[in-house]
């Protein structure tokens, strides 16, 4: 694996290898006093975040440091980006400074792909940490890792993805990955929050994709429910009448949680808007896997860095 | 995959160094040596822990422990220690899957740890194992090494405390240990230069 730009096109074997490595790293580090492995000694990882982030940036930084890579964080605010430098020039600068891997988050869909093209000559690996409304592959991988923890396997499971699918790179990456792993994904959202081409999304051969506008009839059939954040910062216009109305129709309340089978966990990629898409009681219940997702996020990102940087360079 | 983990062997160009019976007798002899050298079960002797290095060190450690229990009546805890994340040649080969690290319940603090591997060659695996052991938690009283085959060509100042069989080899030859648990049969094979699968 040279880059991780999306889960669209990520084959099943590679995805499972990354998830297995993540499990192995988690078991290796469990209960250790010193959580440090020498595996990526001498490799330099640069995170380049053009959008706000807490968990993704922090968990990539921790992942790199636990593998002994040198991690440098660049944010748009404190860098030459503020002076008007282009994404391409910033990336070439970071590659010239010695980056083996650039982890990028950018508001423009496709930014990571462009970056990978520009950095091909330098041989720098690129990880997409979220590009616009396109993809967020490590989030989907950590969600899959969490589902494996809670359910044993993803294959044959019916996974609900509820809420603002239109603006969600998390939903898109999860649809690709979870169907590739053999799950049936049910997208549940009001028509205004579903992208027009959703029926044409590429779906893994092993799985399938279903779209629904009503949450309550779906809940009893689900093995897990993934609640998406309502992304007000990307909404320019009226997508639903009011926050209260959205919460009533699609918010995961305690009453709705009772409709969900006992074994089904609740996932949320964070940050959560309590009272909007998820009630505080559900978010804090043992059914919620939200902190487990964050913990898995570190191990999954370690695994991604391992697969990108530890093996022989094969140029593929 | 570790370098010793290769596909199905081909009959041409190979020589059987140890038969299945030899492997069993060799492990039995090593068990006696461990019992004697560690004063196993004697008062004041440190507790012994066997740690197998995946892939084939793990079943070897389990077999050694079974023989030790049979001969001495002492059950020694066993575990596995994966060294993949500590290798110094990661960037020379395609990405390797991780093996299993599972320390015994009681840990390894103050224990006499015997590392168990199938073939001792350059010594680099053992160097990585010592690093992995240091990070695994606990401070062993001492660390020893048991290998089924020592084929020479050391690149580091490392030697084994228990050797099943010393085999003089040419550097380009390959030694493959086969175990029922991983390869459906027991045996040790020597492949001539460039003739292994």
Selected residue with higher pLDDT from A33 and A171: A171
Tell me the count of A-B CB pairs closer than 8 A. 56
Average pLDDT of the residues in A22-45 = 92
CB contact under 8 A, A311 and B94: yes
* B101 interfaces chain A, CB cutoff of 8 Å: yes
Q: What is the pLDDT of residues B177-191, one digit of tens each?
A: 999 999 999 999 999
Range of the domain at A103: 12-135+296-315
For residue A4, is it within any domain? no
The pLDDT score that the predictor gives to residue A84 is 79
Residue of A nearest to B80 (CA): A28
Does the pTM surpass 0.95? The reply is no
Query: Percent of chain A scored above 90 by pLDDT?
Result: 81
Kindly list the residues from chain B whose CB atom is less than 8 angstroms away from the CB atom of residue A21: 97-98
Residue A2 lies in a domain: no
Same domain, A265 and A147: yes
- Structure confidence by residue, pLDDT tens digits, A120-167: 999 999 999 999 999 999 999 999 999 999 999 999 999 999 999 999
Sort A104 into a burial class: Cβ within 10 Å, 0-12 / 13-18 / 19+.
buried
Name the CATH code of domain B22-87+100-168 (choices 3.90.1530.10, 3.40.430.10, 3.40.50.620, 3.40.50.2020).
Answer: 3.40.50.2020
**ipTM for the complex?**
0.84
Per-residue pLDDT at B195: 53
User: Backbone dihedral region of A153: left (phi > 0), alpha (psi from -120 to 50 degrees) or beta?
Assistant: beta
Coil, strand, or helix at residue A142? helix
**B111-159, pLDDT tens digit by residue?**
999 999 999 999 999 999 999 999 988 899 999 999 999 999 999 999 9
Per-residue pLDDT of A38-81, as tens digits, reads 999 999 999 999 998 889 999 999 999 999 999 999 987 777 77
CATH code (residue A129): 3.40.50.1370
Residue A216 pLDDT more than 80? Answer: yes
Over residues A285-297, the mean pLDDT reads 96
pLDDT category of residue B192 using cuts at 50, 70 and 90: confident
Is A30 within the bounds of a domain? yes
- The helices-and-strands tally (H runs, E runs) of chain B is 4, 8
Q: What integer pLDDT is reported at residue A232 of this predicted model?
A: 81
Mean pLDDT over each residue of chain A, to the nearest integer: 93
Q: Token pair for residue B99?
A: 């093996």
Q: How far is B23 from chain A (nearest CA, A)?
A: 31
Residues of A within 8 A of B92 (CB-CB) are 312
Q: Is A32 on the interface with B (CB under 8 A)?
A: yes
C-alpha A175: how far from chain center: 11
Domain assignment present for residue A148? The answer is: yes
Cβ(A77)–Cβ(A131) under 8 Å? no
| CA A92/CA A94 separation, integer angstroms | 5
Q: Within 13 Å, how many C-alpha atoms sit on residue B126's CB side?
A: 25
* Same domain? A24 vs A130: yes
A147 & A76 share domain: no
Domain residue limits, chain B: 22-87+100-168
In this model, does residue A315 exceed pLDDT 80? no
Please, which residues bridge with residue B163 across strands? Answer: B147
* DSSP state, residue A288: B
Alpha-helix residue ranges (DSSP H) falling in chain A: 12-29, 55-66, 87-96, 111-118, 137-151, 169-180, 243-250, 254-259, 280-283, 290-309
Q: A161 and A287, same structural domain?
A: yes
Residues B81-93: tens digit of each pLDDT: 999 999 999 988 8
Q: Do A312 and B94 touch (CB under 8 A)?
A: yes
Considering the domain architecture, whether residues A173 and A266 belong to the same structural domain is answered as: yes
pLDDT tens-digit map of B59-70:
999 999 999 999
- Binning pLDDT at 50, 70 and 90, where does residue A100 land? very high
The pLDDT of B26-52, averaged and rounded, is 96
> Which pLDDT score, from 0 to 100, does residue A165 have?
95
User: From the candidates B84, B85, B89, B129, which should be mutated to test the interface with A, based on the most A CB atoms within 10 A?
Assistant: B85
> Residue A135: what pLDDT?
97
Which has the minimum average pLDDT: A86-90, A201-205, B177-181? A201-205
Residue B169 has pLDDT above 90, yes or no: yes
| Nearest-angstrom CA–CA distance, A196 and A194 | 6
Closest CA to A92 of A123, A61, A133: A123
Instruction: Mark whether A124 and A155 lie in a shared domain.
Output: no
Q: Residue B197: its pLDDT value, please?
A: 46
pLDDT on residue B2: 47
- Do A246 and A282 fall into the same domain? yes
Q: Do residues A265 and A152 both lie within one domain?
A: yes
Section B48-67 average pLDDT: 97
Does A27 sit within 8 Å of B95, measured CB to CB?
Answer: no
Look at residue A79 in the predicted model and tell me its pLDDT: 74
Same domain, A195 and A244: yes
Residue B90 to residue A37, Cβ atoms within 8 A: no
In this predicted structure, the answer to whether residue A26 has a pLDDT above a threshold of 60 is yes
pLDDT surpasses 80 at B7: no
Regarding whether A243 and A208 lie in a shared domain, the answer is yes
CA angle A188, A189, A192 (to 5 degrees): 155
Q: Which residue of B79, B94, B98, B127 is the best one to mutate when testing the A interface, meaning the one whose CB has the most A CBs within 10 A?
A: B98
Selection from B168, B136, B141 nearest residue B152 by Cα = B168
Residue A235 has a pLDDT of 75
> How many structural domains are present in chain A?
2
Q: Which residues of B touch A313 (CB under 8 A)?
A: 91
Q: What is the mean pLDDT of residues A104-123?
A: 95
Residue A270 lies in a domain: yes
Domain check: are A250 and A302 in the same one?
A: no
Both A149 and A197 in a single domain? yes
- State the pLDDT at residue A241: 84
B189, burial (CB in 10 Å: exposed 0-12, middle 13-18, buried 19+): middle
pLDDT at position A212, please? 96
- Considering only CB atoms, B93 lies closest to which of A28, A39, A312, namely A312
Mean pLDDT of B168-180: 95
A314 band by pLDDT with thresholds 50, 70 and 90: low
**How many degrees, rounded to 5, is the angle at CA A98 between CA A139 and CA A39?**
60
């Amino acid at each position: 694996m040279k880059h991780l730009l999306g889960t669209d096109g990520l084959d099943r074997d590679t995805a499972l290898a990354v998830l297995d490595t993540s499990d192995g790293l988690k078991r290796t580090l469990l209960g250790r006093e010193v959580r440090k492995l020498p595996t990526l000694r001498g490799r330099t990882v640069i995170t380049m975040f053009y959008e706000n982030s807490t968990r993704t940036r922090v968990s990539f930084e921790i992942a790199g440091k636990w593998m002994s890579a040198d991690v440098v964080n660049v944010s748009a605010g404190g860098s030459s980006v503020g002076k008007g430098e282009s994404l391409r020039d910033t990336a070439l600068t970071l590659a010239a400074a010695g980056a083996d891997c650039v982890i990028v988050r950018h508001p423009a869909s496709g930014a990571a792909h462009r970056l990978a093209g520009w950095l091909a000559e330098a041989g720098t690996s690129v990880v997409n940490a979220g590009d616009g409304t396109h993809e967020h592959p490590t989030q989907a991988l950590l969600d899959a890792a969490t589902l494996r923890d809670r359910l044993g396997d993803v294959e044959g499971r019916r996974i609900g993805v509820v809420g603002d699918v239109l603006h969600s790179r998390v939903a898109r990456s999860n649809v690709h990955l979870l169907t590739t792993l053999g799950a049936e994904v049910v997208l549940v959202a009001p028509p205004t929050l579903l992208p027009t081409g959703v029926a044409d999304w590429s779906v893994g051969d092993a799985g399938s994709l279903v779209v629904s506008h009503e949450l309550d009839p779906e809940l009893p059939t689900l093995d897990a429910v993934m609640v998406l954040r309502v992304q007000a910062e990307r909404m320019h216009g009226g997508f639903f009448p009011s926050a209260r109305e959205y919460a009533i129709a699609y918010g995961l309340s305690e009453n709705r949680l009772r409709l969900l089978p006992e074994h089904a966990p609740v996932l949320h990629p964070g940050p959560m808007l309590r009272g909007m898409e998820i009630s505080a009681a559900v978010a804090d219940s043992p059914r919620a896997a939200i902190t487990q997702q964050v913990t898995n996020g570190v191990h999954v990102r370690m695994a991604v860095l391992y697969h990108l940087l530890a093996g022989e360079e094969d140029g593929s | 995959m570790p370098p010793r983990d290769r596909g199905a062997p081909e009959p041409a160009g190979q020589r059987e160094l140890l038969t299945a019976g030899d492997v069993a007798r060799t492990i039995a002899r090593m068990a006696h040596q461990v019992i004697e050298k560690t004063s196993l079960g004697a008062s004041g002797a440190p507790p012994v822990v066997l740690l197998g290095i995946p892939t084939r060190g793990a079943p070897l450690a389990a077999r050694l422990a079974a023989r030790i229990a049979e001969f001495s009546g002492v059950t020694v805890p066993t575990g596995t220690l994966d060294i993949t994340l500590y290798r110094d040649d990661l960037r020379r080969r395609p990405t390797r899957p991780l093996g299993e690290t599972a320390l015994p319940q009681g840990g390894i603090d103050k224990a006499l740890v015997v590392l168990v591997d199938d073939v001792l060659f350059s010594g680099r695996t053992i160097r990585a194992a010592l690093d992995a052991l240091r990070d695994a938690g606990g401070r062993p009283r001492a660390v020893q090494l048991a290998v089924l085959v020592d084929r020479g060509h050391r690149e580091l100042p490392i030697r084994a405390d228990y050797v099943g069989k010393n085999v003089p080899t040419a550097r380009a030859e390959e030694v493959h240990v086969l175990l029922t648990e991983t390869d459906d049969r027991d045996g040790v094979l020597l492949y001539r230069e460039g003739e292994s699968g």
